[in-house]
Structure 1
Amino acid sequence: MEKSTPAPHVAMLATPGMGHLIPLAELAKRLAARHAVTTTLLTFASTASATQRAFLASLPPSISPVTLPPVHLSDLPPDALIETRMSVECTRSLPALTAILAELTPRPAAFVTDLFGMDAFDSARRAGVERRCLFFPGSIHSLTLFLHLPELSAATPGEFRDLAEPVRLPGCVPIPGVDMLSPLQERSSPAYAVMVHLAERFVEADAFLVNSFDAVEPEAAAALRHPKPGRPPVYPIGPLIVTAASNKLRDASNKPTRDPCLEWLDRQPARSVIFVSFGSGGALPQEEMRELALGLELSGQRFLWVVRSPSKEGSVSANYYDAESKSDPLGYLPEGFVERTKGVGLVVPSWAPQIEVLAHEATGGFLTHCGWNSTLESHVHGVPMVAWPLYAEQRLNAVMLTEGIGAAIRLPETKEKVTIAAVVRDVMVGERKGALVRAKVAELQKAVEEGLREGGAATAALDGVVENWVGGN
């Protein structure tokens, strides 16, 4: 951007959940650092937790956080899926959002939101914001699925999980029906209708900003770059994650002290510890939690496990909106487990500084739910993965990571201690499949570094986005 051109101001809407807020905030930081872009970052009241408030308070002056007024959600059923809750909250917030956007100064050159905020394009249009962009926080595989979802839904009379053949999309790994997004597994669910509705609006975007990079999904990226009438241009600008250097948050009180689990890692050999965490919203049923504990013990590998209280089967919505455990999760572990494994393992309740753990030289593996932010963090730090997907798009991510790029080994559906132990050993020290996975993530780590350099693919994509915004003024 030429010096004589005023730096643009943009408005960004982060739908509920830290997994949506963090990458959008990182995008705003990168835009400020490279192009002096200023941002109004809008968030929802439902997730205005102490953790979120501390995160927003830590942002640089170029980013101005604004929380939308609360809306009532009490009429939603207690078992309403995450996707339904987010869509309803967004829709009910549109009048307030329109008023805020209309009053912003300087006038925003663009409005950016993630997939659950597609209806907010109406507010941006009414407020006179000319450029409306979709920030897609997931993989290119997931974006491709959304772009084809309306026609797929119309062409599939029954449930996706009952399909005899996998779903085949341009450039993508074949996706078994059972591994499609969890809200698409029940056609009669309100969440299914929400997802199709959002997908139908994707074509209204002026551009897709995708939190992924070519090396992890080369064929899918190439397919989306191929021009198609009516489809917005795609900019793979990822990975957008918090780095160990910039992540100063310890907890809601923003303590600057170093976490004890990092001091424990300091005493472990290089690449010897498998980190076990299912994200801020992930919890296992109690029986699977028990098998995981016994499997880690049986593996003989060092481990650092973020333990959360068990969930009811398939219940994640409550955790997603409130990531704090309501009871001591260590009390659900097998009797004597902590004592028996204290020489090789460390269990911590509810939370650990994931970025710092993955960046630590002692960390050699990551047993993960395959949330996309966690996946990108693993690539950035070159950590091989054991895939244990839980909900949302995580099963699709697991397919891409295992059957596509080969950066993970997936556990079978039946979670038994013997299998868990075998897969953990394979990823950590295996000489065949595990060795290939470790080599692949090392390649991806280099690809990330190259993409973020001056002239790299992600940097060039971000430059293209800003040029588009400036040209629209």
Structure 2
Amino acid sequence: MENGNGSSCCNGNGNGNGKPAPPPHVAMLVTPGMGHLIPLAELAKRLASRHGATATLITFASTASATQRAFLASLPPAVASLSLPPVDLSDLPRGAAIETLMSEECVRLVPALTDLLLELKRTTRLVAFVADLFGADSFDAARAAGVGRRYLFFPTNLHVLTLILHLPELDVSVASEFRDLAEPLRLPGCVPIPGPDVLMPLQDKSNPCYKWMLHHAAKYREADAILVNSFDAVEPEPAKILRQPAPGHPVVYPVGPLIQADGGSGSKDDAPCLEWLDRQPAKSVIFVSFGSGGALPTEQMRELALGLELSGQRFLWVVRSPSDEGAVNDNYYDAESKKDPFAYLPEGFVERTKDVGLVVPSWAPQIKVLAHQATGGFLTHCGWNSVLESLVYGVPMVAWPLFAEQRQNAVMLSEGVGAAIRVPESKGREKIAAAVREVMEGEGRGAAVRAKVAELQKAAAEGLQEGGAAAAALAEVVEKWTGGEC
């Protein structure tokens, strides 16, 4: 491959005129969602700190929020960012799935992305292009711009990747809807997934979203390799299988866990929450949060409040207004609560629980909370970033999935890995209380979950150290980009 100056992108001692070669540069396309941006940014930072590379994060105008701008501004000088121009999606049906919106936006941005990559080739030593999971159509732009190495970054886990890689065959062999399957879906090396828990975008084959997922599954095969934000110890069987070369399947490199290493950007408003934690006993608090994009229906929100009260456990709850008028992922593009969430809590709840609980609206510094010594459990929506943060800080989980791949993650974590206890589907207050108590102080399954999470915490840290599995996988990828394998 050649860079924009016509010289080789492979390593050398200079560029032929006595000057040292510029650092290798990687362009990274980020489709909408902080859950996509954060791990790709961490990958870019790791490439800079460990391998001397520079990177440009390419974002969509549709997610140019204040939160995203602040995050991008906080990145080190080696990691630049550029935004693609806005595109008109007004012709799409009202209520189109998030996955459909992201996919359509990416396709319509291919010409603009081609021009941007041509400019990066001209101004940097561009060695590779990396697209995230809903950006596979951008490989067309990289190809048009003459970028020879095209990689996919998959910000969730190997179980979900296995499902998507097998989707073309499943589309032919599974005649019914996945939710109607009589038996769990069994994929190589994976925990069996009951039909209703299969990836949400696949649950309605008549929805354009399903066709888009099928399309992405085919486009993934155009990648030279796939980098996955997971690690061997949490998914040993899928990791072993996906490492083996297979016709039509790119080689897979688990390079995680990639989480915000600096604990995330702070806020002047986060101190009271952390000060409250400072006053609690070690491992006594269950942290309750449904991620940056999740909200509960009013009735479930009420049952959760009463379940937390009934559990007798200390809690820190990030609460948002309910999702009755929309979908559980209504906050995907905007993490702020739409209305005053406290108005939807049971009457007297905050007053009755003031000695053991703290309820905060919209947001809390999640990584700082999970890292705090007072935190002993995490009631989570099972978004993969949150799962990895929980494992890195050794916090056992109560699983309450909402959308996307979260139900599938909950099955994997509770039935396979043993790192979580799942709240039963009915979401009644007694069952919520029982799950919370079990994770926090149970002697049976709760004790096993706490031990497993401690084991995975150690394995995650070891994998990222020099010579560890994740560090070695990333080093191998960088060698392919810069070491002469053109």
Q: TM-score, normalised by structure 1?
A: 0.96
Q: Is the 1:135–1:209 contact (alpha carbons within 8 Å) kept by the matching residues of 2?
A: yes
**How far apart in 2 are the matches of 1:398 and 1:313?**
25
Q: Distance in 2 between matches of 1:355 and 1:403?
A: 25
Tell me, in whole angstroms, the C-alpha distance in 1 between the residues paired with 2:329 and 2:183: 30
* Structure 2 Cα separation of the partners of residues 181 and 232 of structure 1: 21
Identity, in percent, stands at 72
Which structure 2 segments of 5+ residues have no match? Answer: 1-9, 15-20
Q: Is the 8 A contact 1:81 1:317 kept in 2?
A: no
Indicate yes or no: 2:150 matched with 1:132.
yes
Tell me if the contact between 1:286 and 1:332 (Cα under 8 Å) persists in the aligned partners.
yes
Pick aligned residue for 1:340 from 352, 357, 365: 352
Give the equivalent residue in structure 1 for 2:99: 83
Equivalent of residue 106 in structure 1, options 124, 128, 141: 124
- The residue that corresponds to 1:214 in the other structure is 232
Partners in 2 of 1:40 and 1:445 — Cα distance? 31
5 Å matches for 1:365-444? 365-444=377-456
- CA RMSD of superposed structures (Å): 1.4
Do residues 162 (structure 1) and 174 (structure 2) align? Answer: no
Q: Secondary structure, in 3 states, of the residue corresponding to 1:275?
A: strand
Q: Following TM superposition, where does structure 1 have runs of at least 4 consecutive aligned residues deviating by more than 3 angstroms?
A: 1-7
Residue 96 of structure 2 aligns with an amino acid whose one-letter code is A
Selected match of 1:312 from 301, 307, 324 = 324
2:48–2:54 Cα contact (<8 Å) kept:
yes
SS at match of 2:316: strand
1:151 alignment counterpart: 169
Q: Which of 162, 168, 190 is equivalent to 2:208? A: 190
Deviation at 1:316, TM superposition (A): 3.7
Does the aligned pair in 1 maintain the 2:30–2:60 contact within 8 Å?
yes
Q: Tell me what 1:74 maps to.
A: 90
Taking the aligned partners of 1:3 and 1:240, their CA distance within structure 2 comes to: 30
- Is 1:292 aligned to 2:304, yes or no? yes
Instruction: Indicate conservation of the 8 Å contact 1:138/1:212, yes or no.
Output: yes
Paired with 2:139 and 2:359, the residues of 1 have a C-alpha distance of 44
**What displacement does 1:472 show?**
4.1
Q: Which of 454, 457, 460 is the equivalent residue of 1:445? A: 457
1:164-219: CA deviation from partner (whole Å, max 9, x where unpaired): 11111111011111111111111101111111110111110001100000000011
Query: Is the Cα–Cα contact under 8 Å of residues 110 and 132 in structure 1 kept in the other structure?
Result: yes
Q: Could you tell me how far 1:382 is from its partner in structure 2?
A: 0.3
Residue 140 (structure 1) shift: 0.5
Alpha-carbon shift at residue 31 of structure 1 (Å)? 0.3
Task: Give the counterpart letter for 2:265 in structure 1.
Answer: K
User: Which residue matches 1:52?
Assistant: 68
Do the aligned residues in 1 keep the contact of 2:244 with 2:251 (CA within 8 Å)? no
> For residues 313 and 188 of structure 1, do their structure 2 counterparts lie closer, same or farther at Cα, with a shift above 3 Å needed?
farther
In the TM superposition, what is the alpha-carbon distance from 1:78 to its structure 2 partner? 2.9
Counterpart of 2:68, as a letter, is: Q
Supply the distance in 2 between the matched residues of 1:134 and 1:154 (Cα, whole angstroms). 25
Opposite residue 87 of structure 1, the aligned amino acid is S
Q: Which residue of 2 aligns with 1:175?
A: 193
Render the CA deviation track for 1:42-96: whole Å, top value 9, x for unaligned: 0000010001000000011001100100111222233111101101111111111
2:137 matches 1:119: yes
Residues 195-247 of structure 1: CA distance to partner in whole angstroms, max 9, x if unpaired? Answer: 1110111110001100000000011111111221332111100000003x352
Q: How far 1:317 moved relative to its partner?
A: 4.5
What is the identity, as a one-letter code, of the residue corresponding to 2:249? R
Residue among 466, 469, 478 paired with 1:466: 478
Deviation readout 1:262-317 (Å, 9 max, x if unpaired):
00000000000000000011000000000000000000000000001000277045
Matched, 1:237 2:255: yes
2-side partners of 1:313 and 1:204: how far apart?
40
Q: Alpha-carbon deviations, 1:118-164, whole Å to 9, x = none? A: 00000000000000000000110011111101110111111000001
Contact 2:401 2:410 in 1 (8 A): yes
Q: Is residue 177–residue 205 contact of structure 2 (8 Å, CA) maintained in 1?
A: yes
Q: Are 1:269 and 2:281 an aligned pair?
A: yes
- SS of structure 2 residue aligned to 1:216: coil
Instruction: Verify the 8 A CA contact 1:131 1:472 in the aligned structure 2.
Output: no
2:89 counterpart letter in structure 1: L
- CA distance, structure 2, for counterparts of residue 154 and residue 330 of structure 1: 48
Who is 2:18 aligned against? none
> In 1, are the aligned partners of 2:295 and 2:329 still within 8 Å (CA)?
no
Q: Is residue 396–residue 450 contact of structure 2 (8 Å, CA) maintained in 1?
A: yes
Instruction: Describe the SS at the equivalent of 1:221.
Output: helix
SS in 1 for 2:330: helix
Contact 1:109 1:472 in 2 (8 A): no
In 2, the alpha carbon distance for the partners of 1:309 and 1:317 equals: 12
Map of 2:59 onto structure 1? 43
Distance 2:325 2:399 in 1: 18
Question: Structure 1 stretches of 5 or more lacking a match?
Answer: none
Residues 137 and 61 of structure 1: CA distance in aligned 2, closer, same or farther (over 3 Å): same
Per the alignment, residue 248 of structure 1 pairs with: 265
Taking the aligned partners of 2:454 and 2:231, their CA distance within structure 1 comes to: 15
Count of matched residue positions in the alignment of Structure 1 and Structure 2: 467
